[in-house]
Amino acid sequence: MAAAISMFVFGAITAALSLQLPLGALRTPGTGFFPLALGLALMALAAGHGVQLYRARPKTAVLETPAAPAAPGGDGATRRVVLFVGGVIAAVALLQPLGYVFTSFLLMLVLLQILGLSRWYSVSIALLSAAACYVVFVHWLKIPLPSGWLF
């Protein structure tokens, strides 16, 4: 439940901060439109996950003594969520100095490593996704992304 609450709060913060940027319109979205949509989607998904967890909790009778609860985050889910949030925060901090392409590569690499994928598989996926984003957004859609020392 802590992971669902954490992700909901993270989505709310993302949505709130995106309101400081111009939203634009649906046909011509501004820089705040996509982060707002992502923040709202994250809030909705976290709320849905929280409802699932609440409904799946074990039912105990009033007079029964409940069994000892499992240790929170015993499966590593809470640890992974904290590492994910930390990775995203680090990526936001590194976006201006390193640029979008290199930062997105590093973020994808870190997130895939947190998920436990092999190093070479993570590097190849991160490299391909960063290159694809660069081609799609910069060359195809002509969207200016923050450039760093690499691109």
Residue 140 is predicted with a pLDDT of: 86
Residue 76 is predicted with a pLDDT of: 73
Residue 73 is predicted with a pLDDT of: 47
Q: Show me where the domains of the chain are located.
A: 1-69, 75-151
pLDDT digits (tens, 9 = 90+) for 76-116: 778 888 888 888 888 888 888 888 889 999 999 999 998 88
Q: How far from 71 is each of 2, 64, 66, 74, CA to CA, in Å?
A: 12, 21, 14, 5
Tokens of 5: 């609450």
R_g over Cα of the chain: 19
